[in-house]
Amino acid sequence: MDDLRYGIIGTGMMGVEHIGNLNALDGVTVGAIADPDPGSRDSGAAAAAGNVNVYVNHTAMLESEELDAIVVASPNMTHIDVLRDVLITDTPVLVEKPMCTTVADCREVVELAAERDGMVWIGLEYRYMPPVARLIEEHAGGAVGTTRMVAIREHRFPFLVKVGDWNRFSANTGGTLVEKCCHFFDLMNLLAGASPVRVMASGGQDVNHLNESYDGQRSDILDNAFVIVEYDNGVRGLLDLCMFAEATHNQEEISVVGDAGKLEALIPENVLRSGRRGQHRIGEVDITEVHDDSVRHVGLHHGSSFIEHRRFAQAVRTGGTAEVNPLDGLMSVAMGVAAHLSITEGGPVEMSDVLSP
């Protein structure tokens, strides 16, 4: 299977971003797109810039097209309905994050995925940002010894404008700590190497979108939070999110500390800092610039989506398995849900309660 023909469901901002990455891959063609919004359909067709078939709804595309792979990039709240149709087929699929907006819907996707032969890959592409990927590699090689703490900071700009302003409401996104932070919970789980047991969070909507109203409803998305996660192997995780902090040097700072040392990835500075206890002192660690010259499309996520698509396409060609699977998607959403519950209830939330049917 040398040439792959893709179908894209949802061609808003992220759908167009996926098309840009696919255009940069050898042996890949975007053959069909589907989106109910006329402006998004036009954007998707223009981005594909080739002989692309355009559909108003995804079911018509699925019924009419012979596809080697599907990308689901529709708004978060639509994922479950789209996936119910897509997962009837055995066509490999890459699902934009978050997998769904609720734990119940994520559970259903896990069950549907288990019943089919085709691969289901969840688009948690932060794993593939070059400095983060290097940190993961060094960590797996024992650079910090026994892991004790994982800390992730994202200080960034507010949510972007989306079609119909759907991302201004928690009911549509799953909440900020699902929509935005599933990436970070996924990384935290990967680095902790364990299952989260308990989540404690504090957060609010203090600066952004306070005066925005849509059809009489006020925007309700959080714009800042601290989240603490306790794992069953004793590792502790911390997330520090601020979405009115665009006046910053690094948007993401990801660190993992163990009994033997510390690793830290900084983005967009694109460096990895590495220190070993007994060898390095404060201010004297190894600093390495990390780039991946094979990236042909940097896009919105520092080349990570291109790398992810390249690996996904290779798995499609070889019949491989998903590197980021539906269980990963479920857990990353469940942790965001638990964090929102903790903020609402004012106390710690047990993951067993959130994950129970």
Mind listing the pLDDT tens digit for each residue in 118-138?
Answer: 999 999 999 999 999 999 999
Looking at the structure, do residues 200 and 101 belong to the same domain, yes or no?
no
What is the residue whose two structure tokens read 């794992």?
231
Flag whether 52 is in a domain: yes
Flag whether 80 is in a domain: yes
Looking at the structure, do residues 289 and 150 belong to the same domain, yes or no?
yes
**Residue 25 belongs to what domain range?**
4-123+307-324
Flag whether 59 is in a domain: yes
Given a cut of 90, whether residue 357 has pLDDT beyond it is no
Looking at the structure, do residues 134 and 167 belong to the same domain, yes or no?
yes
Looking at the structure, do residues 167 and 102 belong to the same domain, yes or no?
no
Looking at the structure, do residues 73 and 138 belong to the same domain, yes or no?
no
CA-CA distance, 262 to 242, in Å (whole number)?
24
Looking at the structure, do residues 269 and 311 belong to the same domain, yes or no?
no
CATH code (residue 80): 3.40.50.720
Looking at the structure, do residues 113 and 166 belong to the same domain, yes or no?
no
Mean pLDDT value across the chain: 97
Flag whether 19 is in a domain: yes
CA-CA distance, 17 to 297, in Å (whole number)?
10
- Provide the 3-class DSSP secondary structure of residue 70: strand
Give per-residue pLDDT as tens, 275-288.
Answer: 999 999 999 999 99
Contacts for 56 with CB less than 8 Å, ≥ 6 apart: 34, 35, 36, 41
Looking at the structure, do residues 186 and 279 belong to the same domain, yes or no?
yes
Looking at the structure, do residues 151 and 112 belong to the same domain, yes or no?
no
Mean pLDDT over 154-178 rounds to: 96
Contacts for 244 with CB less than 8 Å, ≥ 6 apart: 157, 158, 206, 207, 208, 223, 224
Flag whether 301 is in a domain: no
Flag whether 311 is in a domain: yes
Q: For the whole model, what pTM was predicted? A: 0.96
Given a cut of 60, whether residue 1 has pLDDT beyond it is no
Looking at the structure, do residues 54 and 190 belong to the same domain, yes or no?
no
Mean pLDDT over 209-233 rounds to: 96
What is the residue whose two structure tokens read 């794993």?
127
Given a cut of 90, whether residue 296 has pLDDT beyond it is yes
Q: Per the structure, how many domains does the chain have?
A: 2
217's tokens: 């409803």
CATH code (residue 169): 3.30.360.10
Give per-residue pLDDT as tens, 38-88.
Answer: 999 999 999 998 889 999 999 999 999 999 999 999 999 999 999 999 999
Looking at the structure, do residues 191 and 154 belong to the same domain, yes or no?
yes
Flag whether 302 is in a domain: no
Give per-residue pLDDT as tens, 224-274.
Answer: 999 999 999 999 999 999 999 999 999 999 999 999 999 999 999 999 999
CA-CA distance, 15 to 72, in Å (whole number)?
8
Give per-residue pLDDT as tens, 87-99.
Answer: 999 999 999 999 9
Flag whether 187 is in a domain: yes
User: Sign (positive/negative) of CA torsion 205, 207, 213, 214?
Assistant: negative
Looking at the structure, do residues 132 and 111 belong to the same domain, yes or no?
no
